[in-house]
Amino acid sequence: MKKALIIILAAMAFAVSYSQDTTKVIDKTKPALTSQPVVTVITISKAIGPITTREITSAIKSSRKMNAEALIIELNTPGGQMEATWDIIQAILASDIPIVLYVSPPGSRAASAGVFISYACQLVAMAPQTNIGSAHPVGMGGAQIDSTLSEKITNDAVAKIKTLAKKRNRNAEWAEDAVRKSVSITEFEAKDLNVINYVASDIDQLISDINGDTVDVIDGPRVIDTENAQTEHLSIGFASRVLEVVSDPNIAYLLMAIGMLGIYFELSNPGAILPGVIGGISILLALFSFQALSINIAGVLLIILALILFIVEIKVTSHGLLGIGGVVSLFFGSMMLINTTEFPYKGISLSVIIPTVIVFTLFFFISAYLALKTHRRKITTGIAGLKGEIAVAKTVIDPRGGTVFVHGELWNAVAESEIAKGKRVRIIDVDNMILRVDEYFNE
């Protein structure tokens, strides 16, 4: 058991340390050693979370190493975590590379957290048929925010975006409405209202549009030179791609289920090691995924309750009532696990929930059945295991005593009436190491 725990903890520690710096931006092509300017591009098409923070900060570092004229963030997001958003904003404000946010491709949006990030960037552009806005803060975890707390959070967000608007010389009034009233506008409305700088049909047009613009970076004013610029598309490292996959709600849910089963197997069979290692890593990855999602605490508690009820069902005879309660709790907990109020498309699919609930139900009910069957099985060892066994009389057996042969052993025995030597006898009881028997007749 100790070895298993050590291995689990070591695996979890390695995964944590590895995940802290796994998002590395890798250049698809190296820039030529010429005076030709370079513009780097990274595509973000998902909700804003810890992984997004890694990707953007790594892209800024990579752009600095390549001495890029600008970094273009091609964005399509419904919003995301505010803490991750603030981290991204800090990285942008501390950058000595001009950063251009480009809402693209057509049909994309920069909602909620995307609005704050756009106001932090030196320049903002939108592709045709895109929109920006709806930046009102909402509660995480499915919890209702009371009016006082909601007002504090909203006022804080308004103050942040107004500060950014003043720094970037953009429309502060609209920014406040986007936070307080969740207003949203199209690309041309955004251009007219000084929310963005350009409407560009593609990246090539955007690169042409920003040529010669003067922007403020951490070191001071800088003129962007994109004349005949070379475009370098950046991609994230393999580890970050793996983390992106596990951040999918369905994958996170399955990892949680695998982790619960693995830990249960390890606790049920100490020393098995492998189930514990797999369970520990799966739980760790699931927790990492959940921090990038909007988790409903009630859903988590229902799932934990389901696991407890399933385990108790094995230990306590409840005629299936605890197990049924576990099934109901697991199903509703799974349905409630992801808060879809904030991100409607981020819920767990029923095609994943139903098979998982069925597998859990079958597993624990079969375990409960086998445990109950074991408890009811006739004892076959020790003195208690002798009751009901058939033995052979080695001597005459009567109330005064005799000897029988059973389980390869000779035992002293007594009988109410005389039983001849060689007869088969049934053991009725055991009293002080003496067997009480009667003659056995084949039925």
Whole-angstrom distance, CA of residue 293 vs CA of residue 356: 20
Instruction: Tally Cβ neighbours within 10 Å of residue 158.
Output: 19
Cα 326 → chain centroid: 21
For residue 198, the cross-strand partners are: 125
Residue 80 has pLDDT above 90, yes or no: no
Is 3.90.226.10 the CATH classification of the domain at 19-236?
yes
What percent of the chain lies above the pLDDT cut of 90?
A: 40
Select the more confidently predicted residue: 177 or 431: 177
Q: Which of 9-13, 233-237, 335-339, 421-425 has the lowest mean pLDDT?
A: 9-13
pLDDT given at position 271: 73
Which residues have CB under 8 Å from 332's CB, separation 6+? Answer: 299, 302
Task: Render pLDDT for 206-216 as a digit per residue (tens, 0 to 9).
Answer: 999 999 999 99
Mean pLDDT of the chain: 82
* pLDDT per position as a tens digit, 263-280: 777 776 677 778 888 888
For range 234-262, the mean pLDDT: 78
**What is the arrangement of strands in the sheet containing 109-111, beginning at the earlier edge strand?**
109-111, 131-133, 184-186
Contacts of 20 (CB under 8 A, 6+ apart): none
Q: Give the span between the Cα atoms of 109 and 158, in whole angstroms.
A: 20
Looking at 94-146, list the stretches that DSSP marks H as alpha helix, in order from N- to C-terminal side. Answer: 113-120
Q: Is the pLDDT of residue 103 over 90?
A: yes
Average pLDDT over residues 223-239: 87
In 10 A of CB 291, how many CB atoms?
15
The pLDDT of residue 27 is 41
Paired with 434 in beta bridges are: 431
- List the CATH code of the domain at 384-439: 2.40.50.140
Task: Give the pLDDT score at 21.
Answer: 42
pLDDT value at 373 more than 50: yes
Segment holding 91, helix H or strand E: helix 82-93
Region for residue 126 given its phi and psi (left: phi exceeds 0; alpha: psi -120 to 50; beta: otherwise): beta
Distance separating alpha carbons of residues 102 and 198, to the nearest angstrom:
9
**What does the pLDDT read at residue 89?**
96
The pLDDT tens digits of the residues spanning 126-150 come to 999 999 999 887 654 444 455 777 7
Instruction: Answer whether 249's CB lies under 8 Å from 338's CB.
Output: yes
Residue 138 confidence (pLDDT): 67
Residue 8 has pLDDT above 70, yes or no: no
Instruction: Report the percentage of the chain scoring pLDDT > 70.
Output: 79
pLDDT surpasses 70 at 174? yes
Indicate the pTM of the whole model.
0.63
Query: In sequence order, which residues have a C-beta less than 8 Å from that of residue 344 and are 6 or more positions away?
Result: none
Residue carrying structure tokens 């609930």: 357
Q: Which two tokens stand for residue 144?
A: 């209702």
Each domain of the chain, given as residue ranges in start order, spans 19-236, 247-376, 384-439
Q: What's the distance, CA 57 to chain centroid?
A: 23
Say if residue 197's pLDDT is above 80.
yes
Helix 172-180 and helix 113-120, axial crossing angle in degrees, nearest 10: 160
